[in-house]
């Protein structure tokens, strides 16, 4: 199982050859536009994405689709600590891996501040995965239909309509005229509270293009007739999003159109918005929704018309999105509850860490000590046991240079590495002032035991010694999360 890694995960083990230095980017070709701050699109290995999602842990699932086009979206964390969203398609939905990569790479070129930009893909074996920027402030669906503190204000709803029209206009200009599943779940809010259009909806759910995962009540009429979506289908779907924004609830387009034709617009409007908008502005948006929802595709407006119609309705453009949403400018960091070892690492108390590791021994490696008793007794096994014994004695007696020597020899002898040995050697390196080697050993311990809080805490300690305080805090948080998970599993 994979797991979250620190920003220095690329460092090699001290028992391996150091990697060649990375080539420095050619700064003369770097753009300064906002959208170019997104990392360039590239292919990732399955092992990298497995590690980023802690082995595709169910705890990291942020959304799942229906049965027609089953796929799952995970929250992930890359080795550079960047948070990402990873969409895992159904098995063999794209049989040809090269077709998938080609399509994904094309979408990866669509860069815009109103779009959740794609940053990678993976086509390995039967797996087909897309990776995009992670949006921390939920979906439009959550803010509209499942709000807790306050309903989405009118001005924010108008901003959503305008920003999404901008995103669709940019996609169309990039020859990406079809968006396969535009709905309130596909509009996400970034760290600044700005609404963005998910790039996942630009990718078909399967190579045949027949998967259209949405409620039939909201499906464009032409899809029901032909099983295909066309550029005008996107306008229809945009109209359903306008209905969501106006009503604050799921409402079938046919019912909404009946209300509009009957001049019962007030019955369509979200009652929580009373007093927040001018009647003529609401009427404009209702009429625009009506135009988008026309049965015949040719009767619907184009995207440029949407932009021109929604832009004048914005009245508070100077107010930041996070203010309209009632969000703090910086995300609230959850309180971290640390174990005694975590606390000792946080305050960089090496003596206390040493005492705790001595008391803990090897008990976290379930069954590891007992494996030798079932093996054929050979001189090699005896040598290994003696080496471990001498290493443990040196570690106990704070003879850290000898502890490093014996543990290094033991690592080379063991067919199955020991997380505890790596942790003990890591602390020994810290004791003699070599935090970089300590960090590498702490990472190796995590490879051995992916959800072991001790490995995370030791990484945090080494990172603190290296002056990487932000990364150290991330490691402490991750360690505390796994500690809590372990405690909860004991209570069940």
**389 to 304, 339, 442, 454: CA distances (angstroms):** 75, 28, 21, 22
Give me the catalytic one of 138, 181, 349, 392.
181
CA dihedral sign of residues 319, 325, 326, 328 = negative
pLDDT score at 330: 53
Specify whether 194 is catalytic.
no
pLDDT score at 113: 94
pLDDT score at 481: 82
Q: CA 245 to CA 269: how far, in whole Å?
A: 9
Residue 323 region by backbone torsions, left for phi larger than 0, else alpha for psi between -120 and 50, else beta:
alpha
Tokens representing 92 are 């063999």
pTM of the predicted model as reported, rounded to 2 decimal places: 0.62
Give one DSSP letter per residue of 32-74, joined into a string: -SGGGGSPPPEE--HHHHHHHTTTT-GGGEEEE--SSS--EEE
Digits of tens for pLDDT over the chain (492 positions)?
Answer: 333 333 333 343 334 433 433 333 332 233 334 444 788 999 999 999 999 998 998 888 888 765 445 678 999 988 888 899 999 987 778 889 999 999 999 999 999 999 999 999 999 999 999 999 999 999 999 999 988 888 999 999 999 999 999 999 999 999 988 887 889 999 999 999 999 999 988 887 776 545 444 444 578 888 888 878 889 999 999 999 999 999 998 888 888 888 888 777 778 899 999 999 999 999 999 999 999 999 999 999 999 999 999 999 999 999 999 999 988 765 444 445 678 898 888 888 999 999 999 998 888 775 444 444 444 457 777 888 888 999 999 999 999 999 999 999 888 888 777 899 999 999 999 999 999 999 999 999 888 888 899 999 999 999 988 888 888 888 888 888 887 776 554 333
Which residue from 138, 193, 167, 173 is spatially nearest to 35, judged by alpha carbons? 167
CA dihedral sign of residues 331, 335, 341, 344 = positive
Q: Which domains does the chain have, with CATH numbers?
A: 42-133 (3.30.200.20), 138-325 (1.10.510.10), 340-365+375-490 (1.25.40.10)
Rg (alpha carbons) of the chain, rounded to whole number: 28
The residue ranges of DSSP E strands in 354-410, in sequence order, are none
Q: CA 73 to CA 86: how far, in whole Å?
A: 5
Burial class of residue 409 in the structure, from the number of CB atoms within 10 Å of its CB (0-12 exposed, 13-18 middle, 19+ buried):
middle
pLDDT score at 32: 34
Strand 118-124 versus strand 42-43 pairing type: parallel
Which residue from 71, 81, 49 is spatially nearest to 475, judged by alpha carbons? 81
Contact yes or no for 51/79 (Cβ under 8 A) = yes
pLDDT score at 196: 97
């Amino acid at each position: 199982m994979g797991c979250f890694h620190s920003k220095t995960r690329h460092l090699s083990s001290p028992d391996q050859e150091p990697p060649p230095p990375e080539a420095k980017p050619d700064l003369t070709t770097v753009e300064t536009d906002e959208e170019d701050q997104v990392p360039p699109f590239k292919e990732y290995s399955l092992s990298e994405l497995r590690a980023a999602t802690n082995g595709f842990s169910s705890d990291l699932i942020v959304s799942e689709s229906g049965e027609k086009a089953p796929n799952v979206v995970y929250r992930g964390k890359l080795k550079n600590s960047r948070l990402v969203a990873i969409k895992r398609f159904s098995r063999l939905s794209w049989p040809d891996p090269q077709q998938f990569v080609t399509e994904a790479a094309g979408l990866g070129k669509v860069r815009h501040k109103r779009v959740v930009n794609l940053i990678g893909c993976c086509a390995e074996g039967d797996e087909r995965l897309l990776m995009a920027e992670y949006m921390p402030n939920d979906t439009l669906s959550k803010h509209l239909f499942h709000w807790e503190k306050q309903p989405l204000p009118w001005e924010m709803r108008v901003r959503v309509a305008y920003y999404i029209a901008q995103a669709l206009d940019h996609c169309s200009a990039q020859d990406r005229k079809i968006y396969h599943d535009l709905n309130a779940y596909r509009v996400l809010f970034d760290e600044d509270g700005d609404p963005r259009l998910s790039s996942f909806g630009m990718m078909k759910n399967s190579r045949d293009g027949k998967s259209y995962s949405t409620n039939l009540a909201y499906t464009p009429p032409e899809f029901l007739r032909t099983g295909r979506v066309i550029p005008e289908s996107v306008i229809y779907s945009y109209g359903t999003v306008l209905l969501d924004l106006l009503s604050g609830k799921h409402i079938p387009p046919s019912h909404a159109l009946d209300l509009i034709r009957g001049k019962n617009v007030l019955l369509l409007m979200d009652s929580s918005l009373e007093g927040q908008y001018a009647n003529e502005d609401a009427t404009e948006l209702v009429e625009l929704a009506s135009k988008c929802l026309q049965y015949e595709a040719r009767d619907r407006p184009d995207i440029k018309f949407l932009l021109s119609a929604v832009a004048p309705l914005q009245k508070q453009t100077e107010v930041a999105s996070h203010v309209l949403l009632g969000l703090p400018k910086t995300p609230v960091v959850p309180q971290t509850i640390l174990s005694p070892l975590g606390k000792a690492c946080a305050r960089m108390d090496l003596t206390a860490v040493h005492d705790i590791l001595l008391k803990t021994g090897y008990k976290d490696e379930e069954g590891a000590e007992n494996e030798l008793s079932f093996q054929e007794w050979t001189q090699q096994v005896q040598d290994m046991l003696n080496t471990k014994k001498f290493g443990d004695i040196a570690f106990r007696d704070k003879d850290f240079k000898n502890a490093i020597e014996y543990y290094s020899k033991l690592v080379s002898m063991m067919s199955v590495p020991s997380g505890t040995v790596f942790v003990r050697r890591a602390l020994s390196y810290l004791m003699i002032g070599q935090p970089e080697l300590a960090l590498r050993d702490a990472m190796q311990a995590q490879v051995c035991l992916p959800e072991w809080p001790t490995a995370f805490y030791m990484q945090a300690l080494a990172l603190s010694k290296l002056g990487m305080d932000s990364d150290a805090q991330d490691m402490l948080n991750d360690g505390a999360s796994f500690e809590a998970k372990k405690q909860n599993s004991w209570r069940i």
